[in-house]
Structure 1
Amino acid sequence: MIEKAKIFAAEAHKGQKRKNSNTDYIVHPERVAESLLKAGFRPEVVCAGYLHDVVEDTSYTLKDIEKAFGEEVKALVDAHTEDKSKSWQERKSHTIQSVREGSVEIKALIVADKLDNLQSLSQDLEVYGDKIWSNFNADYQHQEWYYQSVAEVMGVGLKEKDVPAFFHTYRKLVKQTFD
């Protein structure tokens, strides 16, 4: 099932590149899925890691995800998928709410995604400096608000023993990037 999701995502994102780079887009979902796998999440969650951007960024739909991977994977991808008809602020506020209220699996899927984005952003800042902010739909202050807000709510409702280790990495990187 995991290998099938990896192949599906690679085909769906074929030809796409990461923001600010010439890196194939599939590298991002691969890193998200790897974080989830290393943290010991179920195969359905790892599959959602591979597939988390498919509905937002390709012609595939949630029905396609459900048909290929079942209701559980579809529900996880759906919980992560943003409604692109809404404003940046509305989409990000919804994601923060999803992290606050979601299960540990939903929280982990979203935080693994945001961690990888933040790691890429941190590398780009070292190479290109502050001019990279112009490549995003929101400026530095809005990005800071968003990443810090996710950090503030990601542990809500979790016992310390249930917090994935990469949440701590995320929190440190937010401080490093925005302080």
Structure 2
Amino acid sequence: MDIVKLVDCVDFSAKKHRNQRRKNAAETPYINHPVGVARILAKEAGVSDLATLQTTVFDLVSLQAAILHDTVEDTDTTFEEIEKQFGKEVRDIVDDVTDDKSLPKMERKRRQIEHAPHCCPKAKLVKLADKLYNLRDLDQEIPQGWTKERAQEYFQWASQVVQGLRGTNKEMEASLDELFAKHGVVVET
């Protein structure tokens, strides 16, 4: 039944994000992002199928949270709705990675840096995968309306968030470090 739970999350997230697009030139459907974040967790954090999830550092709940991670932040979804449909643990992880959009952008960014070390382990995994997905996108193409300077600032800021997540998953951290090096971001050790 784990596969049904995972597909239910994809369906829920796809419906919630149905009218949203990424800011790339192709304006790809937004759902590609949360599915891509879950794919990074499944493929790059060492899990290749649902049968092995129970013996790894993360589980189905982490994949569900990855797929749902932007629903409260970017749609009309509530935490209560997440909990009712997918359980308290999924809700708590989504809560741990959700920005408060009522705050100014710079305050949200500052809070992400401060909060990162205090996230639960599964939220740290989702956060790492989210940053990796976004930075890979940014490495390939600067979003519409962004300057090269803004993209570089995002890399700098993301490295500060990732610093607070270190020790969570060496594979994702190594991939992030490669991207930081490629963009001249000095990573603290």
TM-score by length of 1: 0.84
CA shift for structure 1 position 66: 0.6
Letter in 2 for 1:150: V
Q: Is the 8 A contact 1:80 1:106 kept in 2?
A: yes
* Unmatched runs of 5 consecutive residues or more in structure 2: 48-57
String of CA shifts for 1:149-170, please: whole Å, max 9, x gaps: 0232221xx3xxx524112101
Aligned residue number for residue 146 of structure 2: 133
Is 1:153 paired with 2:184? no
> Residues 6-25 of structure 1, C-alpha deviation per residue, up to 9 Å, x if partnerless?
11111111121101232010
**C-alpha contact (below 8 Å) 2:152/2:183 kept by paired residues:** no
User: Of 7, 20, 23, which aligns to 1:19?
Assistant: 23
Measure the CA separation in 1 of the matches of 2:128 and 2:17: 21
Q: Which has the higher helix share?
A: 1
CA distance in 1: counterparts of 2:180 and 2:158, whole angstroms: 7
CA drift of 1:144 comes to: 3.5
- Aligned partner of 2:156: which letter? W
Equivalent-residue separation in structure 1 for 2:87 and 2:184 (angstroms): 39
Deviations 1:94-130 (A, max 9, x none): 21223222232111111111111111111114xx8xx
Unaligned runs of 5+ in 1: none
Return the offset for 1:140. Answer: 4.5
Q: Is the contact between residue 135 and residue 155 of structure 2 (CA under 8 Å) also seen in structure 1? A: no
Residue of structure 2 equivalent to 1:84: 101
Instruction: Provide TM-score, normalisation by structure 2.
Output: 0.80
- Name the CA distance, whole Å, in 2 between partners of 1:97 and 1:89: 12
The residue correspondences of 1:10-159 to structure 2 (distance < 5 A) are 10-21=14-25, 22-38=27-43, 39=45, 40=47, 41-125=58-142, 133-134=146-147, 139-140=150-151, 142-155=153-166, 158=167
| Partner of residue 50, structure 2 | none
Number of residue pairs aligned between Structure 1 and Structure 2: 168
For residues 95 and 144 of structure 1, what CA distance do their matches in structure 2 show? 14
Query: By how many angstroms is 1:143 displaced?
Result: 1.8
Q: CA RMSD in A?
A: 2.2
Question: In 1, are the aligned partners of 2:69 and 2:94 still within 8 Å (CA)?
Answer: yes
Report the Cα distance in structure 2 between the residues aligned to 1:174 and 1:151, rounded to whole angstroms: 11
Query: What fraction of aligned residue pairs are identical, expressed as a percent?
Result: 34
Q: CA deviation at 1:45?
A: 0.6
**Take 1:54 and 1:140, find their aligned partners in 2: how far apart are those partners?**
24
